[in-house]
Every structure is written in structure tokens, then in C-alpha cells.
Amino acid sequence: DSGVTQTPKHLITATGQRVTLRCSPRSGDLSVYWYQQSLDQGLQFLIHYYNGEERAKGNILERFSAQQFPDLHSELNLSSLELGDSALYFCASSASQGARETQYFGPGTRLLVL
């Protein structure tokens, strides 16, 4: 158990809908990262928050947004869902944001868009 929690574990929804994925980092970790893992794209970095502030954006679509709250939990919002958004979405946390900081991953949310 990494100490990172993600809810829900599974999510099935329809195209055009909006969903919210939630992540609670390990106790004391200030950084939260979101990743998307699909069969054809592999593991793709989406976005990074540090202590409530957005620090970096990766391959995140405009239909997707995220935020980190004062209690450090984070939410990833996916809207106008398309079939291609079906993937495993991971949240990871680390104590800080340096190159040496190991990221610990949550169990992931498996999203299926029908």
C-alpha cells in the first residue's frame, strides 16, 4: 500500500458526460501528479500540483482540468468525454518536487466511456 488513495476504483459512463476523479496523497506529501495510461499511448503525464499551485502541464486536453485543495487532496475533472478517454488514471504524490523525489502511485481509477 503506497498510502495514496484514489476514488472511485472503476467508473463507467457515456460519451459527452463529465466525471471527477479524486486523489488523496500520502500524509505529508505536497506534490500531486496525474497520469493517464492507455493501451496505445502508454503512461502520459497530465498535470502536477504542488501545495495547491499548478506547476506543470503535460499532455492534458482542454476538456480536462484539475485542482489541489488546501487539505492537499486533488481532483481531476474530465468533461465532454469521448471513447478515447477510456484509460487508467493514476494519481501519484511525492514529498516535494525535486528530481530525486520518488513518486508513489495510487491504485488508479479505471474509466470506461461507452
Partner 1 sequence: AQKITQTQPGMFVQEKEAVTLDCTYDTSDQSYGLFWYKQPSSGEMIFLIYQGSYDEQNATEGRYSLNFQKARKSANLVISASQLGDSAMYFCAMRELYGQNFVFGPGTRLSVLP
Binding site for partner 1 (CB under 8 A): 2, 33, 42-43, 45, 48, 55-56, 58, 88, 90, 92, 97-108, 110
- Residue 35 near residue 47, CB atoms below 8 Å: no
- Least distance (Å) between residue 67 CB and partner 1: 17
66, three cell numbers: 484539475
- Least distance (Å) between residue 39 CB and partner 1: 11
Q: How far apart, in whole angstroms, are the C-alpha atoms of residue 19 and residue 84?
A: 15
- Least distance (Å) between residue 79 CB and partner 1: 23
- Nearer of residues 14 and 53 to partner 1, judged by Cβ: 53
88, three cell numbers: 487508467
- Nearer of residues 42 and 70 to partner 1, judged by Cβ: 42
- Nearer of residues 22 and 55 to partner 1, judged by Cβ: 55
What length does the chain have?
114
Q: How far apart, in whole angstroms, are the C-alpha atoms of residue 108 and residue 98?
A: 23
